[in-house]
Chain A
């Protein structure tokens, strides 16, 4: 078997390396996205007082820290013995999470993915960054920047900072919003909703204009896992788990998050620091699934807001049988979620609870806290055990990107099988592999720096590990 090595993956948040394992007939038997980052946060947390968790773990990620903050916040509520927050505290958390999802999705779509989508996957490297998008499509780019900023403004109003603020405390929130802050946040709302609608239209037309290529590209028929609310609505802050089969049948519904460890297990592979979660009942080979925008939109019965619900129905209509499985449809689903967040933000900003000082509940101390939330990239699990002295003794985190680990590998494999010709490694293939990975918006830490200018290296190795071919893309885009 020959091995093709692509390293590192550009415009993904972190270092990645891809190896393609090719048999003698040129078929890609296996694709491996090697995750080389290892942060060891679980060990770092041990011994710390539990109320520090939301602040410690939000440092896991600079792109969706609010998700980690709130997942840990939900876990420490349980440790503090609080099963139901006050209405104002819960509304503040939801608002913060909608703001976070809006800004994270806008960042990904407009800054990271749009160069490929707007200019095409084989555009020259100089174009594959947001600056080129701003030059060629100033209107679209500006909307993206403003949408992102609006999400950040919400986070800042609630937590004091755009990134890594302070909000969730055991059993509640540490501060209400002030009336003048709400007034300021309301001002641009009509524009925000309009731009979000435009974003859905852009994502949809970009997806539809290149068919059937886009529907087939890196596409996988998989189960989907996400939270849904008790009545089946799209839900990112609370609720229970739902899993759908690829044909749309429900495999599990209203599965309690507190028992996630009976549902999901994680497989370790010696070539990656990132584990491979799978559904216990289905086993390692059949039990992998996808999470994130595509999973949430596929899984929910409806959005609770009218514009997003109309967009969802249009989205679901693309597939006459089963669920939409196109990996590139992630982008479209992502923008529908942006629209829903904008609508939900508009509704909640009229709620007087946001200024209420009824922010904290108390309860009987518990030893376990399991906080599950839908981060922008998918379901996020935080599980902690605490001793009598309030110190964390065990932490288990399954981050969203981990759940998509196997799916990313399979998408790469599909792309490589569809587009690798012979034993020649081409820059075009590299681009396609990157596009496939990027659709999942994986949270590997350096994508924001990269902007299509990270150097790539490809190696072709035979079964004996000898190098047959090698191709390198420098940070200036030169191929050597």
Chain B
């Protein structure tokens, strides 16, 4: 096949090749271009719920994780309009939950917080909901802090698609949507989830956390203290050591 026959999209003015069936997000990731995202992870099926991955495709705003790449499509992921919309989405995620960054173990490693910094978010713009959400500490090794959960469904999909467990699910509707343990008691300890599960290593925020991993880095040495998310992408702490990011950047 000659170069001319490989289909390309134009992303931020540059040609990006893709294979048939790939989403814009997948094509961008393979080309090393970071499009901000929260509910997407290359190891599980796309969900299209957080909308943080919005881009302009031929002038229309679309979620890049669920929009197929099409030959010749003109895509913009970092124009002012998209960044402003994205900032509003991040602000909504902040006011919907209870995010006390100062004492959160994932502060400095949290993708939501990192995007807020990257988008120069200086306030929450919207009024806080201050929802009343229960924390689940019943599991001996794992804690689920629903205050910080953004209902991205990543852990749900990871549990079902990679761990083959379906330990978790999203329940409720609208503002009442919440992550629940898929078992009669509704408690994490009875859900079958375990520390080594992929579901435990995919949360973009500090909602699903191991109990024994307390603040491993001082301020200044955490992932996003060192480089913005636009440079290093969505990195989990276990894929990061020193200044090095191990494994593929997503």
Known: A49-B211, A159-B218. A390 touches B137 (CB 8 A): yes
Instruction: Spot the interface stretch: A23-31, A52-60, A449-457.
Output: A52-60
| Chain B CB within 8 A of A161 CB | yes
Instruction: Spot the interface stretch: A163-171, A192-200, A335-343.
Output: A163-171
Complex interface residues of chain B between 46 and 102 (CB less than 8 A to chain A): 100, 102
Q: Please, which residues of chain A bring their CB within 8 A of the CB of B215?
A: 51, 55, 166, 169, 174
Q: Please, which residues of chain A bring their CB within 8 A of the CB of B211?
A: 49, 390
Residue with the greatest number of chain A CB neighbours at <10 A, chosen from B135, B143, B215: B215
The one of B103, B138, B216, B217 that contacts A52, using a Cβ cutoff of 8 Å: B103
> Does the CB pair B135–A169 fall under 8 Å?
no
> Does the CB pair A166–B219 fall under 8 Å?
yes
> Does the CB pair B137–A391 fall under 8 Å?
yes
> Does the CB pair B220–A161 fall under 8 Å?
yes
The one of A52, A160, A390 that contacts B105, using a Cβ cutoff of 8 Å: A52
Q: How close is B244's CB to chain A, nearest CB, in angstroms?
A: 18
Q: Is the interface on chain A under 10, 10 to 19, 20 to 34, or 35 or more residues?
A: 20 to 34
The one of B135, B138, B214 that contacts A174, using a Cβ cutoff of 8 Å: B214
Instruction: Give Cα A47 to B218, complex, Å.
Output: 25
> Does the CB pair A55–B219 fall under 8 Å?
no
Instruction: Give Cα A161 to B100, complex, Å.
Output: 18
Instruction: Give Cα A47 to B138, complex, Å.
Output: 12
The one of A49, A158, A160, A165 that contacts B137, using a Cβ cutoff of 8 Å: A49
> Does the CB pair A169–B214 fall under 8 Å?
yes
> Does the CB pair A56–B103 fall under 8 Å?
yes
Q: How close is B148's CB to chain A, nearest CB, in angstroms?
A: 12
> Does the CB pair A167–B143 fall under 8 Å?
no
> Does the CB pair A160–B218 fall under 8 Å?
yes
Q: Please, which residues of chain A bring their CB within 8 A of the CB of B103?
A: 48, 52, 55-56, 59
Complex interface residues of chain B between 139 and 197 (CB less than 8 A to chain A): 143
Known: A49-B211, A164-B102. A175 touches B218 (CB 8 A): yes
Instruction: Give Cα A430 to B102, complex, Å.
Output: 38
Number of B interface residues at 8 Å Cβ cutoff, please give it.
17
Q: How close is B210's CB to chain A, nearest CB, in angstroms?
A: 11
| Chain B CB within 8 A of A259 CB | no
> Does the CB pair B102–A55 fall under 8 Å?
yes
| Chain A CB within 8 A of B221 CB | yes
> Does the CB pair B143–A166 fall under 8 Å?
no
Q: Please, which residues of chain A bring their CB within 8 A of the CB of B137?
A: 49, 389-391
Instruction: Give Cα A47 to B146, complex, Å.
Output: 12
Residue of B nearest to A53 (CB): B103
> Does the CB pair B135–A47 fall under 8 Å?
yes
Instruction: Give Cα A6 to B194, complex, Å.
Output: 60
> Does the CB pair B138–A167 fall under 8 Å?
no
> Does the CB pair A165–B214 fall under 8 Å?
no
Instruction: Give Cα A47 to B134, complex, Å.
Output: 9
Instruction: Give Cα A163 to B102, complex, Å.
Output: 11
> Does the CB pair B143–A49 fall under 8 Å?
yes
* Known pairs A159-B218, A159-B219, A390-B137 / 16 extra A-B pairs, C-beta < 8 Å: A47-B135, A49-B137, A49-B143, A51-B214, A52-B103, A55-B102, A55-B215, A56-B100, A56-B102, A160-B217, A165-B219, A166-B215, A167-B218, A170-B214, A175-B217, A389-B137
List the interface of chain A (C-beta within 8 A of B): 47-49, 51-52, 55-56, 59, 158-161, 164-167, 169-170, 174-175, 389-391
Instruction: Provide a sorted-by-A list of 16 A–B residue pairs whose CB atoms are within 8 angstroms.
Output: A51-B214, A52-B105, A56-B100, A56-B102, A59-B102, A59-B103, A158-B218, A160-B220, A161-B220, A166-B215, A169-B215, A170-B214, A174-B218, A175-B217, A390-B211, A391-B135
List the interface of chain B (C-beta within 8 A of A): 100, 102-103, 105, 135, 137-138, 143, 211, 214-221
List of 8 A-B pairs having minimum Cβ-Cβ separation, nearest first: A160-B219, A160-B218, A389-B137, A55-B103, A160-B220, A56-B103, A169-B214, A51-B214
